[in-house]
Structure 1
Amino acid sequence: MIHNNEYLIKLSEKYGTPLYIYDSYKIYQQYKKMINAFKGINNFIINYACKANTNLNILKFFNTLGSGLDAVSIQEIEIGLMAGFPPKNIIYTPNCVSIQEIIKAVKLGVRINLDNLSILEQFGEYFPKYSVGIRINPHIMAGANLKTSVGHIDSKFGISFYQIPHVKRILKNTGIKIDGLHMHTGSDILNIQSFLEGAKILFKIALDFPKVNYIDLGSGFKVSYKKKDVKTDISMLSNKITHEFNNLCKNYKNNNCITLIIEPGKFLVSESGYFLVRVNVIKHTTSTVFAGVDSGFNHFIRPMFYDAYHHIDNISNPNGCSRFYTVVGYICESDTFGLNRKISEIHEGDILCIKNAGAYCYSMSSNYNSRYRPSEVMILNGKDFLIRKRETMKDLIKNIIEIPI
């Protein structure tokens, strides 16, 4: 487990910057916290939403914990299989993909959630009598902002719960069986009432499908990004969900044994991550003091894309006099990590640590401005391991084919 700034600085010296660091013990703590919260449900499974962080070693670690896997692409399925997940422990929930990709997933043997009536019909032509899950759109506005809200009426995700009669018609025409019901309403959800409303909709729909094996509530649990930040009360949420779910099981036709699944990504890995950057320059303007670092939104896009807050510490001078800085990157765009932040006095060459860097950070990185992606390090059993090398020019141009010009 990461204990102090000195340790982080040693890692920056050993591996260079910019550098992602993941604390496996924090991941373990978050996983166990959620398992314990839902211990009142006999059949409960956590599927790690690997889009948050797809490093093979992170997936292998989750597999050792007993987690399943939530995948949204054929490539995530393949990485999950490489990490050792049995196909039956992977649920594939794609969006706007071709029927050809879904056919590939069938051949790999994973479980499948479909979220489109057209694809459901096509699937039935290829695989009559097959069992699939369906993703329901509960028409709930949830999530930190519109970009992360995916369960509202105008969302591209899911089949409207008003379209259940159409779903039943497709099932009758094709012979497809419904294996499970799925929902995901958004990320960083502030109000647990959103979860409860969605869960009640799925539980009610389940009564019309007597052979459902699982109900998947997705995720969207909010974590703390700063002191006194609002976060999802997992204990309160689990108590309410457990009560509603156990009532469903009592009233379910044929007394089938249903499994409850949730798919946390950010909740499990966000707080495990640290992103270390080195200060290239301190620049004064007429109104602002900029701390320019050796990274940008090519490595860490969340503050620019989602207006997300990530706490920033100067670990080289943690006890220095606090001053106001705008921390920016080296990309030829407006890439601001933190606007007008109060941080211990920063000097050129200092190492800054950006917190909550475990989820949707490296996985959303790019080579914009022809910059290399950074290294990743994992702390496991008190030891540091390089789990992804820093890119080089060879990586940058490896797929380019030169033609005579």
Structure 2
Amino acid sequence: MLRKEGNTYFIQNQPVSALVEQFGSPLYVYDGQKIESQINSMKEAFSAVDVKLKFACKALTNMSIVKLMLKNGVDIDAVSIEEIKLALRVGYKPSQIQYTPSGVAFSEIEEAVSLGIRLNIDSLQLLEKVGETYGNSLPVAIRLNPSIMAGGNLKISTGHADSKFGIPIEYIDQVLALVNQYDLRIVGLHQHNGSDFKDGSVIVKAMKKSIELAEKHFPNLEFIDMGSGFKVAYHEDDHITEIHELAKEVVAEFAYFQERYGKKVQLWFEPGKYLVSESGTFLMTCNVVKHNPGRNFVHVDSGLNHLIRPMMYDAFQEIVNCTPDTEETEKYDVVGYICETDTLGKDRELPKVKPGDIIAMKNAGAYCFSMSSNYNSRVRPAEVLVYNGRAHLIRERESIEDIYRHQIEVSF
């Protein structure tokens, strides 16, 4: 995480200016100790039950980050065959990976099954196809849509009635009919209600729906998976999910359920943002400071091609001038170099910025690099992991040759 000591900004013991000097700009930097701290926080909060964490790796799929999860006993939640293969490559066993596809071709399902990956089924059509193809030879989970609105932004709310995700809980009779028809082995019930939800009671409310279905219809469950969505702070006064407070109610409810159920059941979570968001800092360099009659602009050497969340989700991420010459401040819009409106931060009060200053965006560990692109034929930045005080390059900066690599030039 970015911290200030005197007049210098650091990530762990590494001055940000030294990181930029060594690895270039723009640059993604991740704090490995912060990731481990978040993992340990969740494990401690839910230690009274048999909890299993599954990293929602779509948040940050760099192999070194995924390998760090493996080192810390965190399994994988995958949403594509490519994520599955990446996890297997770094050393995960198939039994440690759960696959939750959304509307993929059945050939991808077949490939995942051939690799020994457990399926989490999110449509009636897929449930029927799996039954027709595999009968009861596979243990499977069912992703339910509980019709609960959660999430700070509609674009990241996934458990409401109009969402494409999951089988609506109102269709439980059709689910049961298919389970009985094909003698399906249902070993898990899954929900994911959104990201960044502000009210932790959403998890408890949703979990009670899974518990009710488990007690009525699914006597052989091995786990109940409640997804994630735990909120982290994006600015100083931001609301967060108080994980230890939430855990008290969740653990009590889950323990009581197990007593009634008559057997031990694992409680699964799929944290993505919670584990990696705060670990990430995106370092950029100011190219131009433009003073217009009604607005000042800081133009940086990046844009929505590298960090799309502010434009896509109206996300707020704190911006810091890491190398100011003065404490005198000015209000700026921090904008990118893309030929498109790509505002990274609007009306930000910063120490006066000059060309060459290092500008940092906090909370850049989740859904930042993983959603980057080559728009405007721009190359992607390098990624660095700072772990135990050492800076490790974990992804090389792209070059123009990477832009050319998969294109085929036709001769006319």
Q: Same fold by TM (over 0.5)?
A: yes
What does 1:155-174 correspond to in 2, within 5 Å?
155-174=163-182
Which of 53, 62, 74 is the aligned partner of 1:55?
Answer: 62
Partner of 1:390: 397
Which of 228, 240, 249 is the aligned partner of 1:219?
Answer: 228
Partner Cα separation in structure 1 for residue 344 and residue 117 of structure 2: 39
Partner of 2:243: 234
The offset of 1:157, in angstroms, is 0.2
What does 1:126-137 correspond to in 2, within 5 Å?
126-129=133-136, 130-137=138-145
Partner of 2:257: 248
- In 2, are the aligned partners of 1:92 and 1:112 still within 8 Å (CA)? yes
Gaps of 5+ in 2: none
SS in 2 for 1:260: strand
Partner Cα separation in structure 1 for residue 335 and residue 255 of structure 2: 50
Which of 352, 365, 368 is the aligned partner of 2:372?
Answer: 365
Partner of 1:144: 152
Partner Cα separation in structure 2 for residue 172 and residue 100 of structure 1: 25
- In 2, are the aligned partners of 1:20 and 1:357 still within 8 Å (CA)? yes
Partner Cα separation in structure 1 for residue 117 and residue 162 of structure 2: 29
Partner Cα separation in structure 1 for residue 375 and residue 169 of structure 2: 40
1:274-302 alpha-carbon deviations (Å, 9 max, x no partner): 00000000011110010000000000000
SS in 1 for 2:360: strand
The offset of 1:98, in angstroms, is 1.4
- In 2, are the aligned partners of 1:283 and 1:290 still within 8 Å (CA)? yes
- In 1, are the aligned partners of 2:2 and 2:281 still within 8 Å (CA)? no
Identity over the aligned pairs, expressed in percent?
Answer: 45
**AA in 1 matched with 2:330:** R
Partner Cα separation in structure 2 for residue 289 and residue 135 of structure 1: 48
In structure 2, the CA distance between the partners of 1:363 and 1:20, relative to structure 1 (3 Å rule), is same
The offset of 1:3, in angstroms, is 5.0
SS in 1 for 2:232: coil
In structure 2, the CA distance between the partners of 1:362 and 1:322, relative to structure 1 (3 Å rule), is same
SS in 1 for 2:333: strand
**AA in 1 matched with 2:331:** F
- In 2, are the aligned partners of 1:37 and 1:235 still within 8 Å (CA)? yes
**AA in 1 matched with 2:25:** T
The offset of 1:397, in angstroms, is 1.4
- In 2, are the aligned partners of 1:211 and 1:256 still within 8 Å (CA)? no
Partner Cα separation in structure 1 for residue 187 and residue 83 of structure 2: 21
Partner Cα separation in structure 1 for residue 404 and residue 178 of structure 2: 47
Partner of 1:204: 212
SS in 2 for 1:246: helix
SS in 1 for 2:344: strand
Partner Cα separation in structure 1 for residue 53 and residue 69 of structure 2: 10
Partner Cα separation in structure 1 for residue 192 and residue 160 of structure 2: 10
**AA in 2 matched with 1:245:** F
The offset of 1:55, in angstroms, is 0.1
Which of 18, 23, 26 is the aligned partner of 2:26?
Answer: 18
**AA in 1 matched with 2:143:** R
- In 1, are the aligned partners of 2:158 and 2:194 still within 8 Å (CA)? yes
The offset of 1:2, in angstroms, is 6.0
Partner Cα separation in structure 2 for residue 2 and residue 346 of structure 1: 19
Partner of 1:306: 313
What does 1:5-404 correspond to in 2, within 5 Å?
5=9, 7-41=15-49, 43-129=50-136, 130-207=138-215, 208-252=217-261, 255-317=262-324, 320-404=327-411
Partner Cα separation in structure 2 for residue 112 and residue 319 of structure 1: 56
- In 2, are the aligned partners of 1:302 and 1:361 still within 8 Å (CA)? yes
1:103-130 alpha-carbon deviations (Å, 9 max, x no partner): 1111111111000000110111111112
Gaps of 5+ in 1: none
The offset of 1:256, in angstroms, is 2.6
The offset of 1:328, in angstroms, is 0.1
Partner Cα separation in structure 2 for residue 166 and residue 379 of structure 1: 50
**AA in 1 matched with 2:145:** N
Partner Cα separation in structure 1 for residue 337 and residue 2 of structure 2: 28
Partner Cα separation in structure 2 for residue 235 and residue 282 of structure 1: 44
- In 2, are the aligned partners of 1:22 and 1:378 still within 8 Å (CA)? yes
- In 2, are the aligned partners of 1:180 and 1:216 still within 8 Å (CA)? yes
Structure 1's consecutive aligned runs of 4 or more residues displaced over 4 angstroms after TM superposition are 1-4
**AA in 1 matched with 2:26:** P
The offset of 1:319, in angstroms, is 5.4
The offset of 1:320, in angstroms, is 2.1
- In 2, are the aligned partners of 1:99 and 1:123 still within 8 Å (CA)? no
- In 1, are the aligned partners of 2:95 and 2:116 still within 8 Å (CA)? yes
